[in-house]
Amino acid sequence: MEYFAVDVFTKELFTGNPAGVCVLDRPIDAHVMQKIAFENNLSETAFLLKRDGYYDLRWFSPKVEIDLCGHATLASAFVLINFIEPNPGCVRFQTKSGELTVKKTGDLYMMDFPKKKPVPCASPPMLEKALGVKILETHIARDLLVLLDSQKTVAGVSPDFSLLREIKDAFGVIITAKGGDCDFVSRFFAPYAGIDEDPVTGSSHCMLIPYWSERLGKTEMTAKQLSARGGSLICRDLGSRVGIGGSATLYMRGTIRI
């Protein structure tokens, strides 16, 4: 099968979030996909299989299959549009989270994703100790959203991952604050899925966009994820859906021999 490694939410190699994209020429078993994702050891590897007018899309972390992944979806669209079916303008995927579309305008790939508005919740007892900072608010949908006081605080957090693994009620933990040079910033931790820190997380913005749209009174926003690699996103509140956009660049193209 053809294999691509793509850096996402960036225009520069070795920044943003790397994703693996496997373009299948035939169906393969899920346990083989999981072995490939483990072998790749990226936060997510995507698997694409062409159907009639769309592609089946599945995502695997090194440990588990994921129900929704933003950066590997954008990477998949980037691969299809630039290398497999040049210039379609828009691609459709069927996934565990329903139909997803990605449209290309210039260098921007805009994903239409489900909206996951978080609701206020109690903070898990060990969370402040795990993060080592004062928590202002906590909200939950798929992930636990944690509001901190500033961009500087978000950037400086050094989590105790052994404690974060004890939080069982959410897939991942998002820390976020109002931005200085953008509308909001975040970081994302998912040690349960074998991802201590994800460099740039599209799916977390399904929660972050409605949260910050309501808080800031804006439907179009810019965001940055403050991991060591870093990345930038264009964010839109579309009402019942969200738009998550960014750029991508190819790192590698090759063949997986199975």
Assess whether pLDDT exceeds 90 at residue 254: yes
pLDDT(88) > 80: no
**What was the pLDDT predicted at 100?**
98
Write the CA distances from 69 to 17, 100, 252, integer angstroms. Answer: 12, 11, 20
How far apart (Å, rounded) are the C-alpha atoms in residues 45 and 38?
9
pLDDT of residue 95: 98
Instruction: Identify the pLDDT of residue 52.
Output: 93
CB atoms within 10 A of CB 10: 23
CA–CA gap between residue 185 and residue 193 (Å, rounded):
22
Summarize pLDDT for 114-140 with one digit per residue, the tens. Answer: 999 999 999 999 999 999 999 999 999
- pLDDT score at 167: 86
**Quick one: pLDDT at residue 99?**
97
**What SS3 state is found at 74?**
helix
Span 2-111+244-255 CATH architecture: Roll (3.10)
The CATH homologous superfamily for domain 119-237 is Diaminopimelate Epimerase; Chain A, domain 1 (3.10.310.10)
Can you list the positions of beta strands (E) in the chain? 2-8, 17-24, 45-50, 55-60, 65-66, 90-95, 98-105, 108-114, 119-120, 137-140, 144-147, 173-178, 184-190, 195-198, 220-225, 231-237, 241-246, 248-255
Q: Do domains 2-111+244-255 and 119-237 have the same CATH topology?
A: yes
The stretch 180-202 carries a mean pLDDT of 94
- How is the chain split into domains, by residue range? 2-111+244-255, 119-237
Counting residues of the chain whose pLDDT is more than 70, the rounded percentage is 100
Active-site option among 12, 39, 44, 65: 44
pLDDT of residue 169: 85
Q: Are 204 and 212 in contact (CB under 8 A)?
A: no
Instruction: Name the band, by pLDDT with cuts 50, 70 and 90, for residue 175.
Output: very high
Told to judge if 214 belongs to the known catalytic residues of this protein, a careful annotator would answer: no
CA atoms within a 13 Å half-sphere pointing along the CA-CB vector of 145? 24
